[in-house]
Amino acid sequence: MKNVVELLQTLIRIPSVNSDNCPGTDLVDEQGMADFLVQYLNEGGFTAFQEEVLPGRPNVIARAPFHGDEDTRPRIFLGPHSDTVGVAGMVFDPFCGDLVDGKVLGRGASDTKGPMAAMLVALMENVGILADLPVAIDFVAFMDEESGQLGSRDFVRRYGGEYEFAIAGEPTSLDVVNVNKGCSWLTLEARGRAAHSSQPEQGENAIMIMARSLDLMNRKLSNRLATYTHPVLGHSTLNVGTLHGGTRPNIVPDYAVAELDIRMTPSLMDAGGGGSMVKAFIDEMNLPIVISGCHENPPMDTSEDNAYVQRILGAWPGSRCVGAPWFSDAAHLSSGGIASVCVGPGSIDQAHTKDEFILVDDLEEGVRFFSAFIRSFQ
């Protein structure tokens, strides 16, 4: 069996860049990673298989060893994601997996192949006891976490009723992220009337229509969103992320498009979510823009009193429950009925960076962490 450093190096050297949002390489998608994981887990005593969510982009599901003809135990799982963000601008070969000065380098080393490797090695080190535990501890690797989270969405639709708890693998420095904000990504469009720029009064400038609307949202809607608070996460926020329009400087632009990112506390989600708030504001202010797209990820608010959360804290006293401003597969799992948290070795500060790495010491501590959690059920 590979040690955790060797396994992480292998994982990094299997490119699995998410094909959405400027991957920066042709080495995209998660099929190669899925093929490796199924073989690794089956050889290790699990029953592993793939479920295709998009062509060439499957989830991997691995059932824990058990005795007899049917496994009737309560089920939980360890669930990292198999994809990574793009590699444009990285300062070294993103798929090198090199070991340098106590660090493993490469895209995914921190987010989230490092946590994945720690989970896998801990499972394999304890595979001899898994069949005798009172709960079945499975492994699931999700595709598409770095874009639309289609993997976790698909999984929870199929299996939401079968699992009691999940640990999503993310670099949390082994703290337990049990609450995080959700987000609404909205696309807004404005239409104007083209004209020659020497006679701008003959046209209607779509960029200015959009800019005035965005300014009003930034000043007034932001204040409303800030009233939706959480004791750990703070308040909901709005960011205007992109604004595009026009074709050349001597034409009055007849079209503009902008994208918003609203980070939602649970109370805002309970009130209908960011998309509904923006729509209501547009209607109230009679703004001449429309919402042409809305993608929402729910917030997560798993109770610190959850029995499995308390088991984690008891097995690894150095961990604490914390909140995070980012979102993950755990939120979709929780929203679908599987109480979930995010835990893993490494720091979020190294995720998505041009020189992404994880410290070997952190990686090895991650193995000890997940092993302690598994053995706590004995």
- Domain residue ranges in the chain: 4-180+299-375, 182-297
Same fold, 4-180+299-375 and 182-297: no
What are the CA-CA distances from residue 375 to residues 9, 37, 43, 74, 126 (Å)? Answer: 26, 23, 22, 16, 8
pLDDT band for position 325 (50/70/90)? Answer: confident
CB atoms within 10 A of CB 52: 13
Tell me if residue 4 falls in helix, strand or coil.
helix
The H or E element spanning position 8 is helix 4-12
At residue 326, the pLDDT reads 86
**Alpha carbon distance 121, 111 (integer Å):** 17
Q: Looking at residues 336-356, what average pLDDT do you find?
A: 96
Average pLDDT, the chain: 96
pLDDT band for position 327 (50/70/90)? Answer: confident
Q: Looking at residues 243-265, what average pLDDT do you find?
A: 97
pLDDT in tens, 1-45: 789 999 999 999 999 999 987 899 998 879 999 999 999 999 999
Q: Which of these, 62, 15, 17, lies nearest to 38 by C-alpha position? A: 62
CB atoms within 10 A of CB 254: 19
Q: Fill in the DSSP letter of residue 326.
A: S
pLDDT in tens, 32-89: 999 999 999 999 999 999 999 999 999 999 999 999 999 999 999 999 999 999 999 9
Q: Are strands 339-343 and 163-169 parallel, antiparallel or unpaired?
A: parallel
Q: Looking at residues 234-255, what average pLDDT do you find?
A: 96
Percent of the chain with pLDDT over 90: 96
At residue 21, the pLDDT reads 77
Q: Are 221 and 277 in contact (CB under 8 A)?
A: yes
CATH-assigned architecture of domain 182-297: 2-Layer Sandwich (3.30)
Tell me if residue 363 falls in helix, strand or coil.
helix
**Alpha carbon distance 167, 376 (integer Å):** 15
CB atoms within 10 A of CB 74: 11
pLDDT in tens, 155-212: 999 999 999 999 999 999 999 999 999 999 999 999 999 999 999 999 999 999 999 9
Q: Are 113 and 84 in contact (CB under 8 A)?
A: yes
Q: Looking at residues 330-347, what average pLDDT do you find?
A: 97
Strand positions, DSSP E, the chain? 47-54, 57-63, 75-79, 99-100, 103-105, 136-141, 163-169, 176-180, 182-191, 195-196, 229-230, 234-235, 237-245, 251-252, 255-264, 289-297, 300-301, 321-324, 339-343, 357-359
Q: Which of these, 281, 88, 86, 326, lies nearest to 186 by C-alpha position? A: 281
Q: Is the domain defined by 4-180+299-375 classed in CATH 3.40.630.10? A: yes
**Alpha carbon distance 264, 243 (integer Å):** 22
Q: Are 84 and 141 in contact (CB under 8 A)?
A: no
